[in-house]
A and B are shown apart, each in its own frame.
Chain A
């Protein structure tokens, strides 16, 4: 049943609801799909998919649901009969082609077609027997057999199955890695609007009130424009196991440090785990004790830590566990992390490693302390919503 396609779509992550489904039914009723599978593919995609990131999921769902030709059989047989009973379709054929056509009468063609439909299990391109595309079998799409039957699709064009199978939108998936612009956009949501600074904007309500108070004598009142009051601290793990992610972290940094984005933006570095100090530079020359960082920032500032959270358990859990032996940390890394989380009202950890690598590692331990998301478009989006104050913490952190 077609409704299964809706559930397949939802299973693949296309956010189609009953609303879209009813719209699609309306479109089908109007015949917008031209009674073909290709038409259906395009119409369903235009209605059900709302963002580029879901196009690939749609293709996957379409392939899963419509692979195999059982579904098409009834529809196609009708189309076949129509085509054959339409004498105009034969006009383009040459004399010799018409003679060849006569060799295959309708019943014969139909019988063979159904027979082959039953035999055929998979999609087929090229070749001279199966129903597919680009071949010389009498059945299929975009083929070259003179009496051939086009099965769905525009002649010469690519069929929906082919289009879907190409999965051209794979690179737009939302769970893929980010570029600067995407980070930029995700961070745009990280804001707290408020009026601060020089009065530059005309305050209409106040102007009217003041003018009225002034007995009609025009009195202009200005107020400061709305600005983002969000303050952000970015704490980045650099070196070692983070090297493969350097470009990704750099992109996040580039986007976050853009002028005018936040009311205040500071960035610090650490290696592996935060111990008693963080560093103002990536060469670890200018240390700043965690106590001082906390001391000079308000609880309203948002803290974002970027790191793979992977280390030897002792580096996280023991005093003196720092991988630099001369940096004899008095409290274990996890304690420093806890101090940070406890101080800032909203803090988030972004992990460039995929979530499947977290279990049974220090990442899992840290995620019970720090709300942790992957550093992907989706993860960043969730983290930003959490930081602004909307979304809940992810499951792991809630337990801790």
Chain B
């Protein structure tokens, strides 16, 4: 297993064996990596840490419900050009001035290898991933307005995250390496918390995890607290100087863990708030 970049996790990001292997497979085969999992399990952070550990630039594309695949490549600002032609600002004959590359466009025109994060692809329209197929496959595109061909010098490493909200099209999935981030078990979670709060006492951490997993197992929760919320919670407890060994009865700062009024009520009924 050598001859290509390898991801081993970083000092600030603990990756499970499965995740590491999935990343390395995607790196070696130069395929996009599709990461799914509950919100707050570190899908986006993975891209940041991967870019850091490989020493590559990270280009982010945060997908919104209104995002169009085309915007990722480039936007031709017609209205600005019309405006300029009307009011006489700048040289309207040079179309290139009005072409603005999107995140995918920038990743493909980069001179060295980059990591491209397409975040929350499921937020966009159902057809969005299909519109990206050709560009992600060939790693090249054409700007119709100018006739310029842009082809990647080195295939960018593409990480796509999805909150598992929507079925992605088969043709799109075919091309991806898939990894589902499972919710960490206690052991892995303890290591993850340690990375963020290295000096928490073992007993206190144990206490926190006990409460945290207890809360997650409550039936009928609409949004179960996740890793990122646990880390925030431990942070809040420490800032406020709560003695972690002596948490009893209700959970302090419940608001950092539960973000939904009904969920708080469920916790209250169980005497956790």
The interface centre, meaning the residue of B166, B180, B182 with most chain A CB atoms within 10 A of its CB, is B180
**In whole Å, how far is B79's beta carbon from the nearest beta carbon of chain A?**
7
- When C-beta atoms are compared, the residue in chain A nearest to B33 turns out to be A46
> Could you say which residues of chain B place their CB within 8 Å of the CB of A216?
85-86
Q: Does B170 contact A (CB under 8 A)?
A: yes
Q: Does B261 contact A (CB under 8 A)?
A: no
Bound complex: CA A27 to CA B177 (Å): 11
Q: Are A50 and B173 in contact (CB under 8 A)?
A: yes
Q: Does A208 contact B (CB under 8 A)?
A: yes
Which residues 7-61 of B sit at the A interface, judged by CB distance below 8 A? 17-18, 21-22, 24-26, 28-29, 31, 34, 36
| Partner of B21 from A39, A185, A217 at Cβ < 8 Å | A39
Q: Does B83 contact A (CB under 8 A)?
A: yes
Q: Are A208 and B82 in contact (CB under 8 A)?
A: yes
The interface centre, meaning the residue of A32, A50, A168, A185 with most chain B CB atoms within 10 A of its CB, is A50
> Could you say which residues of chain A place their CB within 8 Å of the CB of B176?
50
Q: Are A185 and B167 in contact (CB under 8 A)?
A: yes
Bound complex: CA A185 to CA B168 (Å): 11
**In whole Å, how far is A317's beta carbon from the nearest beta carbon of chain B?**
39
> Could you say which residues of chain A place their CB within 8 Å of the CB of B25?
27, 32, 43, 46-47
> Could you say which residues of chain B place their CB within 8 Å of the CB of A300?
none
**In whole Å, how far is A251's beta carbon from the nearest beta carbon of chain B?**
13
**In whole Å, how far is A246's beta carbon from the nearest beta carbon of chain B?**
15
Bound complex: CA A48 to CA B171 (Å): 13
Q: Does A81 contact B (CB under 8 A)?
A: no
Q: Are B83 and A218 in contact (CB under 8 A)?
A: yes
Q: Are B1 and A32 in contact (CB under 8 A)?
A: yes
> Could you say which residues of chain B place their CB within 8 Å of the CB of A26?
29
Q: Does A207 contact B (CB under 8 A)?
A: yes
Q: Does B74 contact A (CB under 8 A)?
A: no
> Could you say which residues of chain A place their CB within 8 Å of the CB of B31?
23
> Could you say which residues of chain A place their CB within 8 Å of the CB of B21?
32, 39, 42-43, 46
Q: Does B178 contact A (CB under 8 A)?
A: yes
- CB-CB contacts of A84-116 with B at 8 A, as 1s and 0s? 000000000000000000000000000000000
> Could you say which residues of chain B place their CB within 8 Å of the CB of A125?
none
> Could you say which residues of chain A place their CB within 8 Å of the CB of B78?
204, 207-208
| Interface range for B | 20 to 34
**In whole Å, how far is A168's beta carbon from the nearest beta carbon of chain B?**
7
Bound complex: CA A27 to CA B126 (Å): 30
> Could you say which residues of chain B place their CB within 8 Å of the CB of A52?
36, 164, 180
> Could you say which residues of chain B place their CB within 8 Å of the CB of A169?
180
A27 with B28: in contact, given A42-B22, A50-B178, A154-B17 (CB under 8 Å)? yes
> Could you say which residues of chain B place their CB within 8 Å of the CB of A43?
21, 25
Q: Are B17 and A47 in contact (CB under 8 A)?
A: no
Q: Does A188 contact B (CB under 8 A)?
A: yes
**In whole Å, how far is B181's beta carbon from the nearest beta carbon of chain A?**
10
Q: Does B165 contact A (CB under 8 A)?
A: yes
Bound complex: CA A26 to CA B18 (Å): 19
> Could you say which residues of chain A place their CB within 8 Å of the CB of B34?
50
Which residues 170-189 of B sit at the A interface, judged by CB distance below 8 A? 170, 173-174, 176-180, 182
Bound complex: CA A62 to CA B177 (Å): 18
Bound complex: CA A52 to CA B178 (Å): 9
- When C-beta atoms are compared, the residue in chain B nearest to A31 turns out to be B1
Q: Are A46 and B22 in contact (CB under 8 A)?
A: yes
Bound complex: CA A398 to CA B81 (Å): 57
> Could you say which residues of chain B place their CB within 8 Å of the CB of A15?
170
> Could you say which residues of chain A place their CB within 8 Å of the CB of B28?
27, 30, 32
- When C-beta atoms are compared, the residue in chain A nearest to B166 turns out to be A185
- When C-beta atoms are compared, the residue in chain A nearest to B85 turns out to be A216
| Partner of B177 from A47, A181, A202 at Cβ < 8 Å | A47
**In whole Å, how far is A167's beta carbon from the nearest beta carbon of chain B?**
13
> Could you say which residues of chain B place their CB within 8 Å of the CB of A181?
165
**In whole Å, how far is B64's beta carbon from the nearest beta carbon of chain A?**
15
The interface centre, meaning the residue of A42, A157, A216 with most chain B CB atoms within 10 A of its CB, is A42
Q: Does A211 contact B (CB under 8 A)?
A: yes
> Could you say which residues of chain A place their CB within 8 Å of the CB of B86?
216-218
Q: Does A192 contact B (CB under 8 A)?
A: no
Q: Are A51 and B17 in contact (CB under 8 A)?
A: no
> Could you say which residues of chain B place their CB within 8 Å of the CB of A50?
34, 168, 170, 173-174, 176, 178
Which residues 62-121 of B sit at the A interface, judged by CB distance below 8 A? 78-79, 82-83, 85-86
Q: Are B174 and A218 in contact (CB under 8 A)?
A: no
**In whole Å, how far is B263's beta carbon from the nearest beta carbon of chain A?**
15
- CB-CB contacts of A200-222 with B at 8 A, as 1s and 0s? 00101001100100001110000
**In whole Å, how far is A249's beta carbon from the nearest beta carbon of chain B?**
18
**In whole Å, how far is B106's beta carbon from the nearest beta carbon of chain A?**
23
In the assembled complex, 15 residue pairs joining A and B whose CB atoms fall closer than 8 Å, in A order, are A32-B24, A32-B28, A32-B29, A46-B18, A46-B25, A46-B178, A47-B25, A51-B167, A51-B178, A52-B36, A185-B165, A188-B166, A202-B79, A218-B83, A381-B167
Known A42-B17, A185-B166, A218-B86; further 5 A-B contacts with Cβ < 8 A = A23-B29, A50-B174, A50-B176, A207-B78, A208-B82
- Residue positions of A touching B, CB distance < 8 A: 15, 17, 19-20, 23, 26-27, 30-32, 34, 39, 42-43, 45-47, 49-52, 55, 154, 157, 168-169, 181, 185, 188-189, 202, 204, 207-208, 211, 216-218, 381
- Residue positions of B touching A, CB distance < 8 A: 1, 17-18, 21-22, 24-26, 28-29, 31, 34, 36, 78-79, 82-83, 85-86, 126, 164-168, 170, 173-174, 176-180, 182
